[in-house]
Amino acid sequence: MNLKPFKKNGQWLLCDEQLTEDIETAWFDQTHWLNQGRLLGANSGRGSAWVIKSEWGKWVLRHYFRGGLYAKVSQDSYLWTGLNQCRAFAEFHLLNKLASLSLPAPRPVAARVIKKGLYYRNDLIMTHVPHEQTWAQSLADGTTESSTWADIGSTIARFHRNGVYHSDLNAHNILLNGEEVTLIDFDKCSIKSPNINWQKQNIERLRRSVEKITGQSCQDQLSQPWQQLLDAWSSERS
């Protein structure tokens, strides 16, 4: 894949080599797809993930919005510290690395950065992962099968074996399609040297998310399925 950023209409772009001839800066604005009848819907509480039916297949367009208190100051501007440090470019590079490791995650399609003074705004396009539901939906419905807990544990173990640290591992970022488990939302994630401490932090964050969604405890009502996840994770982690 050609990973050289280039400029078009004053904006920085990075894309799959096969798309270099076709890419338009308009691709990163959802109205462009809406006007062509190619916008299939929004997929996020914050309204930041759009599903698109492109000529090349189904894509997800994500605009980076700030969370937390700072969002009141600026919704989507980040301090510029260099092109490759921009969130969308960093996530693009990471997704590309995950693809080369054959890990179940979306494939990167294109990224854009608009620099303005000391700040920038940015967007990412990735492939859409076909899925029946997020794990969060399945947990809320109480329909997660016992084998799925183990499948999730093994999938996280595959990422951990390869040093992939997920900064926001929660049930909303785990997509289920039968036995297939895919992780998404790799903003601020990175490859580190495998270490039990940060790997456990990922699992702890996931446990809190499961408990929040179900209103049940992983040490009490959910102890059996949670243990299945942990067993699969620890036996395949290294």
Ligand X SMILES: Nc1ncnc2c1ncn2[C@@H]1O[C@H](COP(=O)(O)OP(=O)(O)O)[C@@H](O)[C@H]1O
Nearer to ligand X, 138 or 228 (CB): 138
Name the active-site residue from 29, 123, 141, 168: 168
Rounded CA separation 84/50 (Å): 24
How far is Cα of residue 72 from the mean position of the Cα atoms in its chain? 24
**CA gyration radius, the chain:** 19
Residue 155 lies near Mg ion (rule: CB under 5 A): no
Residue 62 interacts with, from ligand X, Mg ion, none (CB under 5-8 Å by kind):
ligand X
Question: Residues near 69 by Cβ (< 8 Å), separated by ≥ 6?
Answer: none
Nearer to Mg ion, 161 or 172 (CB): 172
Considering only residues 99-128, where is the footprint of ligand X by CB under 6 A?
106, 126, 128
Nearer to ligand X, 166 or 237 (CB): 166
Residue 122 interacts with, from Mg ion, ligand X, none (CB under 5-8 Å by kind):
none
Q: Figure out which of the listed residues 148, 173, 209, 228 binds ligand X, where binding follows CB under 6 A.
A: 173
Rounded CA separation 162/132 (Å): 27
Considering only residues 62-91, where is the footprint of ligand X by CB under 6 A?
62
| C-beta of residue 86 within 8 angstroms of C-beta of residue 105 | no
Burial class (CB in 10 A: 0-12, 13-18, 19+), 219: exposed
Structure tokens given for 109? 């399609």
Residue 227 lies near ligand X (rule: CB under 6 A): no
Residue 228 lies near Mg ion (rule: CB under 5 A): no
Residue 94 lies near ligand X (rule: CB under 6 A): no
Active site (annotated) includes residue 168: yes
Residue 172 lies near ligand X (rule: CB under 6 A): yes
Rounded CA separation 213/132 (Å): 18
Structure tokens given for 126? 């990735």
Residues in binding contact with ligand X, number by CB under 6 A: 16
Residue 185 lies near ligand X (rule: CB under 6 A): yes
CB atoms near residue 8 (< 10 Å): 11
- Chain contacts with ligand X (rule: CB under 6 A): 43-44, 46, 48-49, 60, 62, 106, 126, 128-129, 134, 172-173, 184-185
Q: Report the catalytic residues.
A: 168
